[in-house]
Amino acid sequence: MLQYGLYLVILVALAIPLGKYMSKVMNGERVFLSRILTPCEKGLYKLLRVDREEDMGWKKYALCAVAFNVFGLVVLFLILMLQGFLPWNPQGFDGLSWHLAFNTAVSFVTNTNWQTYSGEVALSNFSQAMGLTVQNFVSAACGIAVLFAIIRGLVRKEVKGIGNFWTDLIRTTLYILLPICLVASVALVGLGVPQSLGGNQTVDLVEPIAADAEGNVLTGAQIDLDANTVTLDGAVVEGAQIITKQVMPLYPQASQVAMKQLGTNGGGVLGTNSAHPFENPNLITNLIEMVFLLVIPVGLCFTFGRSVKDKRQGIAIFLAMFLLLMGAIAVVHFSEAAATPALEQNGLVDTTLGNMEGKETRFGVVTSSTWASWTTAASNGSVNSMHDSYTPIGGMIPMLLMMLGEVVFGGVGCGLYGMIGFVILTVFIAGLMVGRTPEYLGKKIGPREMRMAVLVCLATPIAILVGSGVAALLPSTAEAINNPGAHGLSEVLYNYASAGGNNGSAFAGMGCDTPFLNTSLGLVMLFVRFVPMLATLAIAGGMAAKKKVAESSGTLSTCNAMFVFLLILIVLIVGALSFFPALSLGPIAEFTQMLGLG
């Protein structure tokens, strides 16, 4: 409990001042970096021919956002297809297939960062640095920009403009993301995370290992290097190989790790992700990277309160998200700290530490459970343990956090504007229940805003259920699953929840590098990223044009304990209950089988 409490206290303590700083930056106020970065900002406006004073309507703002993302998608797709002809490719990797390049380009442009491959054996330094890392920055900046568009829509009255997309994008990247990542990258390099363009290096193993003819490591084998023989249980193993060297994947990694965590991106160089000692060497790097998962999404709650000039509104949204997160952590910890019946049988496995399958011993259940909950709440997707090895209920909670629509803090910007959609829905439903006028921050909620809010709230369930439903019907999907029965269905559900929740983590156990799966997962990512984004901008435009109405006795409070409770209830009803039938056939059915009840 002390360890969980310490993690949460550090997170919130850093998020509060960061939230104030982000509010100042996006509102054009002077900050401590202004003297250094203002000339750079003005230079970028001049270079890109951006009129920083232009106040865009929601349609033009949306057009600029979509055009920017389409351009990034095309450029990244071409980089991945043509990487064999591009520089910084000491590994000599060829270009990706069209469907894998499409999937990867969509994934990083939409801030999902789903990866069907292991980066160390598929992508060059150029693709990693100039393709993926660039999108880590601008996709995160795009989410924050849209959030401030909806904030302006709620604050302004009887105007058409909601801000300037290019100004928002540049300020977010220049003042928020780049400075934090620069400091974090230097710190990570100092703590042991590689930063290199030299390509892979071959090194001698401290102790040689033996493998049979199929490549399986022979545990407990006796190795005689002089005689070049491998003996197991007193018998010489014919065809065995003695391995004395290892290839070490070296990339410009520290800079990518810092931004992938801070921008809730998640995709990394290494297939084992944040469980790999090159990416996460020790407990200090683990703490830094884990805090980075949520520090901006949490900070944006306080940014929201300051920007709408009512800190109580930001605190109310923060509390709703925070309580949901604490509930998720508690369930995951309880499930993972208790051993499964299979592990307990015959007393052959030490279960005093809980379910340690798929977890690093240096992190244990507490840190692994915290990371699993935070990374799926934040739509980040990086992992320091394998979720596929969690208990059925322990693995269901990260899945459910993604299914809720990345609104338990969620991605940078997009998590909060997704929750604002639920706030509008809650205000409308609560108003109908008690006969009060549906208003939010002094603006009446009309039919148009309600339709857009419903789109924001239902886009994720629609995409996940339709995508996974179609995939489950195809024989090719069954062939791609390594585990039969309920766990196999959980793998399909998790993968589409990851794509639909803008997350990017995987349940493993399922091969996804096929034209159908790559394409369908890519389409799910596009739908869930841009439908809520466009609906949010439409709400911003509609709210900005409305006049303020005076608060009266019929106005529903949106910052008290009752509203926080109603908001949590609506999130769970719309999000969780939409998936209950599917979860009943997957992790819940597996849980009953584990207990011998099914």
pLDDT digits (tens, 9 = 90+) for 159-173: 999 999 999 999 999
141 with 238, same domain?
A: no
- Arithmetic mean of pLDDT, 459-487: 88
Closest to 516 (Cα-Cα) out of 483, 492, 485: 492
User: Looking at residue 187, what is its pLDDT?
Assistant: 95
Q: Taking all residues of the chain, what is their mean pLDDT, rounded to a whole number?
A: 91
The residue whose two tokens read 């780049």 is 178
CA distance 80 to 115: 13
* Residue 598 pLDDT > 60: no
Half-sphere exposure of 270 (CA within 13 A, CB side): 23
81 with 132, same domain?
A: yes
123 with 260, same domain?
A: yes
83 with 217, same domain?
A: no
- Arithmetic mean of pLDDT, 320-339: 93
User: Looking at residue 37, what is its pLDDT?
Assistant: 95
Q: Which of 145-154, 253-262, 317-326 has the lowest mean pLDDT?
A: 253-262
Q: Looking at the domain assignment, is residue 91 inside a domain? A: yes
44 with 190, same domain?
A: yes
| pLDDT over 70, % of the chain | 98
User: Looking at residue 118, what is its pLDDT?
Assistant: 85
146 with 218, same domain?
A: no
37 with 106, same domain?
A: yes
Domains held by the chain: number: 2
* Residue 563 pLDDT > 80: yes
Q: Looking at the domain assignment, is residue 430 inside a domain? A: no
Q: Which domain holds residue 210?
A: 201-248
CA distance 369 to 427: 33
Neighbours of 381 (CB within 10 A): 30
CA distance 445 to 431: 10
Q: Looking at the domain assignment, is residue 570 inside a domain? A: no
Domain boundary, last residue among 282, 297, 327: 282
The residues that bridge with 222 in the sheet, in sequence order, are 231
Confidence of residue 465 (pLDDT cuts 50, 70, 90): very high
CA distance 151 to 145: 10
Neighbours of 272 (CB within 10 A): 17
Judged by DSSP in three states, 310 sits in coil
* Residue 437 pLDDT > 60: yes
CA distance 82 to 74: 12
223 with 99, same domain?
A: no
71 with 102, same domain?
A: yes
- Arithmetic mean of pLDDT, 333-361: 81
User: Looking at residue 260, what is its pLDDT?
Assistant: 93
177 with 218, same domain?
A: no
User: Looking at residue 597, what is its pLDDT?
Assistant: 63
Q: Looking at the domain assignment, is residue 273 inside a domain? A: yes
DSSP 197-215: SS--EEEEEEEEEEE-TTS
pLDDT digits (tens, 9 = 90+) for 408-433: 999 999 999 999 999 999 999 988 88
Q: Looking at the domain assignment, is residue 54 inside a domain? A: yes
Confidence of residue 438 (pLDDT cuts 50, 70, 90): confident
User: Looking at residue 185, what is its pLDDT?
Assistant: 95
* Residue 110 pLDDT > 90: yes
* Residue 509 pLDDT > 70: no
92 with 221, same domain?
A: no
| C-beta of residue 333 within 8 angstroms of C-beta of residue 395 | no
Q: Which of 10-14, 347-351, 456-460, 577-581 has the lowest mean pLDDT?
A: 347-351
Q: Is the dihedral of CA 362, 367, 373, 379 positive or negative?
A: negative
Q: Looking at the domain assignment, is residue 558 inside a domain? A: no
DSSP 312-327: HHHHHHHHHHHHHHHH
* Residue 346 pLDDT > 70: no
Q: Looking at the domain assignment, is residue 85 inside a domain? A: yes
**For the chain, what's the residue count?**
598
User: Looking at residue 250, what is its pLDDT?
Assistant: 83
242 with 169, same domain?
A: no
Neighbours of 59 (CB within 10 A): 13
Q: Looking at the domain assignment, is residue 144 inside a domain? A: yes
User: Looking at residue 497, what is its pLDDT?
Assistant: 93
Domain boundary, last residue among 238, 261, 282: 282
* Residue 435 pLDDT > 80: no
* Residue 54 pLDDT > 70: yes
pLDDT digits (tens, 9 = 90+) for 354-390: 888 889 989 999 999 999 999 999 989 899 999 988 9
Q: Which of 16-20, 404-408, 510-514 has the lowest mean pLDDT?
A: 510-514
Degrees, nearest 5: CA angle 495-501-505? 45
